Structure 1
Amino acid sequence: MTDWIGTIIDNFGYVGIGLLMFVETVFPPIPSEVIMPLAGIYAAQSGHSLTGVIIAGAIGSMIGNIFWYLLAAWLGLTRFERFAIRFGRILTLDHEEIVRGQKLFERYGGAIVGVGRVLPTVRSLISIPAGLVAMDWRRFLFYSSLGTFVWTTGLAVAGYLLGKRFAEIDKVIGPLSTAIIVILFGIYLYRVITWKKTKSAP
């Protein structure tokens, strides 16, 4: 994967970085933890602007974030709830939990989105609940942009400073990302096994 990501960045520069980050956001298995450090290395070796690399990555990622937000907003909470009632165990959600999540977003939506943008896997999916609960689009854009900029900057600067020593970045980011994914999957699996529809659910 590293080779073809590097090839796209070398051949298409800023446009390639933005495109890769867009695809990464829409399709999470393509990791930004690889894309942005390689983009930072590209900036260091080619003489291209590190700022340009960061901006390109952030723009590409934000386009993906907006895509998920608009798709979820189009679906709407009412239609999603009907779907959740039908496939409650798979989604591990029922009416009560959906209402609780809606209230949580109403109070802390900005913080949830901002922090979510710097967590592997979560960063690509946090737009969905924001769109479903119709989070104010201005707040969504502000906190998404802030978190996304922090994430892309950190990874790009790491690649820029370490140069070809990409393995040193991966020693830290790789296990951390894997641990978060394993924890999230473990939580999901536990919820599937123990899930019961609450009596208050319609």
Structure 2
Amino acid sequence: MDWTTRIMEAFGYPGIVLVVLIENLFPPIPSEIVLPFAGFMTTQGSLTLFGVVLAATVGSVLGAVALYGVGLWFGRDRIYWIVRRYGRWLTVTEADVQRTEDWFERYGMWTVFFCRMVPIMRSLISIPAGLVRMNMGLFVVYTAIGSAVWNLVLVGLGAALGATWDRVSHWVSIYQDVVIAVLLLGAAAFLLYRLLRRRK
């Protein structure tokens, strides 16, 4: 990801906004490399920890709003059409989708907040928020707060480690693997439950 570090070095805060925006739209660009390096930059020049975290959070919010727009454009009507047509193969019914909407309506803000601190999910959670038309103001507020926490941790670690900032990516990759394993096990348990329920 040399090009990301070059952009941040060349353009400072605007470069950080741009790189973090792109990182949110394309999850394969790892924040565990981008943000610790930005933190390292605070030890080498005129950038401040507050300024870097603020720039990274602005980029995160802009990327999240763009993905929210994708979900909004796709729309719930298309989701219901897919479920009506292919639901029996996916073991999903319209009632399931409705319950998901109700759940998101009640707990969506907290889901957005906590998912902003989970690799991969921190980007993808914006799409269902758009699908169910979550209140935009609340979406932006909880996205900003959750993103600021995640950014502060990674930027702070990068600043603390200095020239060895790249060690952060190792720790975050372990955290990411654990989270993904838990999510996969949860999804497998849910599918097994649904299949057993259908047989009964």
What TM bracket, shorter-length normalisation? 0.7 to 0.9
C-alpha displacement of 1:109: 1.3
Correspondence for 1:114? 113
Residue 76 of structure 2 is aligned to residue 65 of structure 1: no
Contact 2:37–2:166 at 8 Å: present in 1 too?
no
Superposed, 1:39-188 pairs within 5 Å as: 39-88=38-87, 93-185=92-184, 187-188=186-187
Measure, in 2, the Cα distance between the counterparts of 1:13 and 1:41.
12
Identity %: 36
Measure, in 2, the Cα distance between the counterparts of 1:99 and 1:55.
37
Measure, in 1, the Cα distance between the counterparts of 2:101 and 2:119.
23
Range 91-100 or range 126-135, more displaced = 91-100
C-alpha displacement of 1:136: 1.0
Amino acid at match of 1:141: V
CA distance 1:56–1:92, shift in 2 (3 Å): farther
Amino acid at match of 2:171: V
Contact 2:159–2:165 at 8 Å: present in 1 too?
no
CA distance 1:90–1:26, shift in 2 (3 Å): farther
Contact 2:36–2:166 at 8 Å: present in 1 too?
no
C-alpha displacement of 1:160: 0.9
Correspondence for 1:29? 28
**Superposition TM-score, scaled by structure 2 size:** 0.86
CA distance 1:166–1:123, shift in 2 (3 Å): same
Structure 2 residue matching 1:44: 3-state secondary structure? coil
Spell out, residue by residue over 1:79-112, the C-alpha distance to the aligned partner (whole angstroms, 9 max, x if none): 2221344454887743232112111111111111
CA distance 1:47–1:119, shift in 2 (3 Å): same
Measure, in 1, the Cα distance between the counterparts of 2:43 and 2:90.
44
Measure, in 1, the Cα distance between the counterparts of 2:137 and 2:79.
23
Measure, in 2, the Cα distance between the counterparts of 1:21 and 1:148.
11
Amino acid at match of 1:36: L
CA distance 1:60–1:89, shift in 2 (3 Å): farther
CA distance 1:41–1:89, shift in 2 (3 Å): farther
Measure, in 1, the Cα distance between the counterparts of 2:193 and 2:87.
12
Amino acid at match of 1:34: I
Contact 2:33–2:166 at 8 Å: present in 1 too?
no
- In the alignment, structure 2 segments of 5+ residues that lack a partner are none
Measure, in 2, the Cα distance between the counterparts of 1:134 and 1:83.
18
Measure, in 2, the Cα distance between the counterparts of 1:55 and 1:87.
44
CA distance 1:91–1:14, shift in 2 (3 Å): farther
CA distance 1:87–1:53, shift in 2 (3 Å): farther
